[in-house]
Amino acid sequence: MVWCLLPAIVLVLMLAILLLIQRRSELQSLDAQLMDRAQARRAGTHKARLQDPHMDLSRCLGCGTCISACPEEGVIALIHGQAAVIHGARCVGHGRCAAECPTGAIQLTLGDLENRQDIPVLNDQYEVIGRPGLFMAGAVAGFSLIRTASSHGTAIADEVSRRRDLARTQANGDAVDLCIVEAGPAGIAASLRAQQNGLRFCTLDQEGVGGTAAKYPRRKLVMTQPVELPLHGKLKQTTDSKEELMELWQQLVQDYSLPIRPQTALQSLQPGPRGTDVVKTSNGDVHARHVCLALGRRGSWTFPVKIFPRWPTT
């Protein structure tokens, strides 16, 4: 009788051993993730600099889809069977985690803003509250994703066009409709749309076309989702390296004769006549009815908080 039960006993023992091995592996993985999170906290990389994914743990299934979808390394991990942000500072806002989550448990939000005085307060048109005519797009406004920055630049140029059409009789002939600061993702998109809409505009370019994206490491993947640019249309590729994107932007500047002013540094903004701004640059003044700061956060541009000491904080 015992001999008859022996195969079943062996099978049960084997299953138990496999379960123990699996459990041991899970505990080792958990220990590694907890240690990684503790190191991130000590290094200060656990908090997002701009965007980061916010997890609704009541809806998280712990499937790990968000981890495999994220093109950056170590942003999200499974802790106690649920998704958690480990290195929030590595998140650049791709948004794939939120898009792929089967339960909608993830939302892409701005990071911890409690002590952030460098994130401006904007209205729905990306205009600085309390500073009419001054717009911000892209990383300087807290959004580093190229697709998002491009959409911001396009929307700002459309808003300036709308205002120009409403106030055409009050136009100041000496001032451009829009002065764009930096020819990065947001600046290029704003320039293309301004050209398409027939705006009088100029784009200041201190660091070279591409802005701070040009400072990324070689072959860095800078775009993982399709982007549609004014005049040019939707980009054929859904992934682009830094070099491919720099080449595209250079070509767009040439193809559409965008009025880029090279090696021109922004120095200050001062009030001008009839609601305009005087944009002080290293190559002379620009009078503008609207200004779009499309600055990155890795370059050498003077940050706007120095230009406007009384920065809106509420």
Residue 254: inside a domain: yes
Residue type, 278: V
Q: Which among 116, 143, 174 is the end of a domain?
A: 116
Which of 107, 99, 100, 72 lies closest to 86, judged by CA? 72
Using CA atoms, how far apart are residues 225 and 160, in angstroms rounded to an integer? 27
pLDDT score recorded for residue 177: 94
Residue 219 has pLDDT above 60, yes or no: no
Same domain, 285 and 155: yes
Are residue 102 and residue 246 in the same domain, yes or no? no
CATH number at residue 178: 3.50.50.60
Q: Say if 5 falls within a structural domain.
A: no
Please report whether residue 247 resides in a domain: yes
Res. 312 pLDDT band, cuts 50 70 90: very low
When pLDDT is averaged across residues 189-217 and rounded to a whole number, the result is: 81
Find how far residue 223's CA is from the centre of its chain. 11
Is 160 in contact with 177 (CB distance < 8 Å)? yes
| Whole-Å CA distances, 286 to 75, 203, 280, 283 | 42, 10, 7, 9
pLDDT for res 157: 96
Cβ(98)–Cβ(53) under 8 Å?
A: yes
**Residue 213 has what pLDDT?**
57
Range list of H helices, the chain: 2-43, 65-69, 96-100, 146-166, 185-196, 242-255, 304-307
pLDDT of residue 286: 92
Domain ranges, residue 71: 41-116
Mean pLDDT for 17-37 is: 78
**299 and 180 in one domain?**
yes
Nearest to 84 by CA among 92, 74, 93: 74
pLDDT of residue 302: 45
Residues 192 and 283 reside in one and the same domain = yes
pTM given for the model: 0.63
Average pLDDT value for the chain: 77
In a domain, residue 229? The reply is yes
Distance, CA of 163 to CA of 130 (rounded, Å): 17
Q: What pLDDT digit, counting tens, does each position of 177-191 carry? A: 999 999 888 999 999
Domain count, the chain: 2
Query: Is the four-CA dihedral 20, 23, 29, 34 of positive or negative sign?
Result: negative
Q: Mark whether 219 and 86 lie in a shared domain.
A: no
Lookup result for tokens 């942003």:
75
CA atoms within 13 A on the CB side of 312: 13
| pLDDT at residue 6 is higher than 80 | no
* Mean predicted confidence (pLDDT) in 8-18: 82
β partners of residue 229: 233
Determine the average pLDDT of the residues in 233-261: 79
Q: What is the pLDDT of residue 298?
A: 52
